[in-house]
Amino acid sequence: MRRKPAQGNTTFCMAPWTHTYLSPQSERRLCCASTEPAQNFKQYIDTDSGTNEYNPVSLKEWWNSDHLKSVRKRMLHGEELPECQVCNKKLLHTTVYRDHFNTLFKDLIDQAYQRTNDDGSTDMDCVSFDYRFSNLCNFMCRMCGSNLSSSWETEERKNLHGFEERRVWASKENKTKMNEFVINIAEPEFEEAINDRRIREIYWVGGEPLMYPQHWKYMKMIVDKKLSPQVYARYNTNLSRIVFNNLNLFDDILKDFSAWEVCASIDGTNQIGEYVRTGLEYDKFIQNFEHGLKFANGRNKRMNLDFTITTPGLFEIENMFNLSLKYDVPIITKTTFAFSSNIFMSPLVLPRNILLRIISDVLEKIKPRATLKQKGMIDILESFNNRLTFGEEYEDWQVGRLKGKRFMLELESRRKSAITMAEIMKKDKELYEWWQSI
């Protein structure tokens, strides 16, 4: 029996009726946070490997596919979907993506029930796009990888033995096919939604979206067609550059939109921030962020700090909190996603007693000063009390942390940085002793 959210359906999400996600390797998903079997090439949170053959599907093929019809049927009946475990279990942060879609498209919830057949098919159109046209990115964040960063890909091609055998998607043949798919399928789909005047939301992520030529082309098209008042533009960007071909993101594009949100990714200040995000020039980031603030109003036009807590970033929590206070902006806080025991950038690699002591110390300093704009940070920090550390979750945790440390040292050997992980760890005597013991 179908149940609506107003009738207690807590697992319903409007994404399968409004939204489409396309990865830099042309993988279709419910959204960027869904955990699903791979179609072609396994992505970092996929639940099963793909075929390792490039067979992308168009939006038309995807929209009423057997998989998406099944998702809709189960959601309408209030089932808890394994595809949605990131929201169900709040794996990344304490606010969930489901709430975003249900709020933005609340006017379409009744239509979703009325216009969905018993088999899960619908005649509703996709109006929200998260198309990551490539992995083009000028950063090499240490918790990222080649599938999401062309700079990472270039580095791995030089240093990873058997790169194309291990990263099948990156073969010359597959890269050529991906480019053809983007030109012949993905871009026309995107442009059609603009020309049909049905587009209501765009989420620009990467790679680094402000390096995508498609971003500037289509956002200018939306402005020129006077569609900007009806489109909600969201960004997750490293904010390293805000100008392309004499177009400024804020001066020439977003000033015409009635609603937008820029989540500026920054995982620490100064040296530690630049260590975590190879490519970051902290002073340049601050300059671009302050420029964006001139166009924000704190309501429907928002600048946010987007902070992912990493192992070295544990020593940047207070600095990031203070940055949020200084600019009076929300700080969206997540923790590094951990899907194996060798992810050394995840704080959960630490022993519980050390991790919770560090978290407790910083909470004592910042919680009394927190406002609603830092509530998410406080919530995620307090949630560490209930999270399993690697030593508690994985049987191979000792092997994993050793492998993770070696990988961190390997990255340090080929990337120039003003500080090392060991020097960061020295900020806490007990933590440094643990690091040395691995």
Domain boundary among the residues 105, 126, 147 is at: 126
Domain co-membership, 155 together with 242: yes
Domain co-membership, 170 together with 201: yes
The answer to whether the CB of 91 falls within 8 A of the CB of 23 is: no
**Alpha carbon distance, N-terminus to C-terminus of the chain:** 54
Q: What is the mean pLDDT of residues 73-94?
A: 85
Percent of the chain whose predicted confidence (pLDDT) is above 90? 87
Domain co-membership, 110 together with 256: no
Domain co-membership, 229 together with 347: yes
Give residue-wise pLDDT tens across range 114-167.
Answer: 999 999 999 999 999 999 999 999 999 999 999 999 999 999 999 999 999 899
CB-based burial label for 220 (10 Å; 0-12, 13-18, 19+) = middle
Domain co-membership, 145 together with 259: yes
Q: How many domains does the chain have?
A: 2
Q: For residue 261, what are its two tokens?
A: 């949100």
Give residue-wise pLDDT tens across range 255-309.
Answer: 999 999 999 999 999 999 999 999 999 999 999 999 999 999 989 999 999 999 9
Domain co-membership, 121 together with 165: no
> Can you give the pLDDT at residue 86?
82
Q: What is the mean pLDDT of residues 195-204?
A: 97
> Can you give the pLDDT at residue 243?
97
β-bridge mates for residue 232, sequence order? 201
Confidence of residue 83 (pLDDT cuts 50, 70, 90): confident
Domain boundary among the residues 61, 92, 126 is at: 126
Residue 153 belongs to domain with CATH number: 3.20.20
Confidence of residue 47 (pLDDT cuts 50, 70, 90): low
Q: For residue 144, what are its two tokens?
A: 């990222």
Q: What is the mean pLDDT of residues 216-227?
A: 97
Q: Which amino acid is at 354?
A: I
Q: How far apart are CA 163 and CA 153, in angstroms?
A: 9
Q: For residue 64, what are its two tokens?
A: 């009423």
Domain extent at residue 47: 1-126
Statement: residue 208 has pLDDT above 90: yes
Q: How far apart are CA 353 and CA 357, in angstroms?
A: 6
- Cis previous bond, 207, omega within 30: yes
Confidence of residue 102 (pLDDT cuts 50, 70, 90): very high
The answer to whether the CB of 318 falls within 8 A of the CB of 366 is: yes
Residue whose tokens read 């900007």: 228
Statement: residue 94 has pLDDT above 80: no
Domain co-membership, 301 together with 341: yes
Angle between helices 187-195 and 213-224 in degrees, nearest 10: 10
Domain co-membership, 216 together with 325: yes
Domain co-membership, 353 together with 372: yes
Give residue-wise pLDDT tens across range 312-344.
Answer: 999 999 999 999 999 999 999 999 988 899 999
Q: Of 1-15, 45-59, 155-169, 207-221, give the lowest mean pLDDT range.
A: 45-59
Q: How far apart are CA 408 and CA 353, in angstroms?
A: 23
Statement: residue 38 has pLDDT above 80: no
Statement: residue 176 has pLDDT above 90: yes
Domain co-membership, 98 together with 197: no
Q: How far apart are CA 431 and CA 424, in angstroms?
A: 10
Its pTM stands at: 0.93
Angle between helices 375-383 and 352-366 in degrees, nearest 10: 160
The pLDDT mean for the chain works out to 94
Domain co-membership, 104 together with 200: no
User: Tell me, what DSSP letter sits at residue 251?
Assistant: I
The answer to whether the CB of 357 falls within 8 A of the CB of 316 is: no
Give residue-wise pLDDT tens across range 348-383.
Answer: 999 999 999 999 999 999 999 999 999 999 999 999
Domain co-membership, 102 together with 200: no
Percent of the chain whose predicted confidence (pLDDT) is above 70? 98
Confidence of residue 33 (pLDDT cuts 50, 70, 90): confident
Give residue-wise pLDDT tens across range 381-427.
Answer: 999 999 999 999 999 999 999 999 999 999 999 998 999 999 999 99
Domain boundary among the residues 126, 142, 165 is at: 126
Q: For residue 113, what are its two tokens?
A: 């029930």
Instruction: Return all residues near 221 (Cβ < 8 A) that are at least 6 apart.
Output: 191, 194
